[in-house]
């Protein structure tokens, strides 16, 4: 079972070491010193405390960092950012992570809209988000640190789950 907790600097540093394979390598962080220098939100203590949560799981009696999420609030929109430890990808943990995220969102933001963006090629994540109650809003090209890429904007709607 997944649990959320504070995203400490130790956990943030661990996230920066996660390495995804093949096309998913676009999700690899630069090393910690570089993102610290560039002042990424995950490196800033008060941002971590206010916006981020670590997600852990106990396996074989050992607590492991399974993933993380971030709620970035902008007026009526809460933008969701999330990551799943590569060793847990493709094993059903995404569904559990999304359940935890939706539960936290509904507890904290009763009057806001939850959105996320995902790279268009990431069909595995898109399917997970669809099953969690998100729907596709639009596709667009966005500039990233490694060049332009196509993204999909998705929005959460709990009534989608009621229809499924």
Q: What is the full per-residue pLDDT of the chain (164 aa) written as tens digits?
A: 899 999 999 999 999 999 999 999 999 999 999 999 999 999 999 999 999 999 999 999 999 999 999 999 999 999 999 999 999 998 999 999 999 999 999 999 988 999 999 999 999 999 999 999 999 999 999 998 888 999 999 999 877 655 54
**Two structure tokens written together for 142:** 């966005």
Predicted pLDDT of residue 114? 97
pLDDT digits 0-9 by tens, 94-111: 999 999 999 999 999 988
Residue 110 confidence (pLDDT): 87
Per-residue burial over 127-136, b = 16 or more CB atoms within 10 Å of its CB, e = otherwise = ebbeebbbee
Say what the pLDDT of residue 161 is.
57
* Full 3-state SS string of 64-99: EEEEEEEEEEECCEEEEEEEECHHHCCCCHHHHHHH
What's residue 164's pLDDT? 47
pLDDT of residue 145: 81
pTM of the model: 0.92
């Amino acid at each position: 079972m997944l649990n959320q907790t504070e995203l400490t600097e130790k956990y943030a540093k661990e996230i920066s070491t996660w390495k995804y394979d093949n096309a998913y390598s676009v999700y690899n962080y630069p090393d910690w010193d570089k993102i610290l220098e560039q002042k990424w939100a995950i490196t800033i203590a008060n941002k971590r405390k206010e916006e981020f949560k670590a997600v852990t799981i106990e396996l074989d009696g050992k607590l492991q960092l399974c993933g993380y999420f971030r709620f970035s609030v902008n007026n009526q929109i809460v933008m969701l950012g999330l990551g799943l430890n590569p060793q847990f990808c493709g094993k059903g943990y995404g569904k559990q992570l999304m359940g935890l995220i939706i539960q936290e969102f509904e507890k904290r933001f009763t009057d806001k809209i939850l959105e996320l963006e995902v790279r268009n090629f990431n069909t595995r994540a898109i399917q997970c988000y669809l099953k969690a109650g998100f729907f596709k809003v639009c596709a667009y090209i966005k500039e990233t640190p490694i060049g332009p890429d196509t993204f999909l904007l998705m929005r959460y709607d709990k009534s989608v789950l009621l229809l499924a």
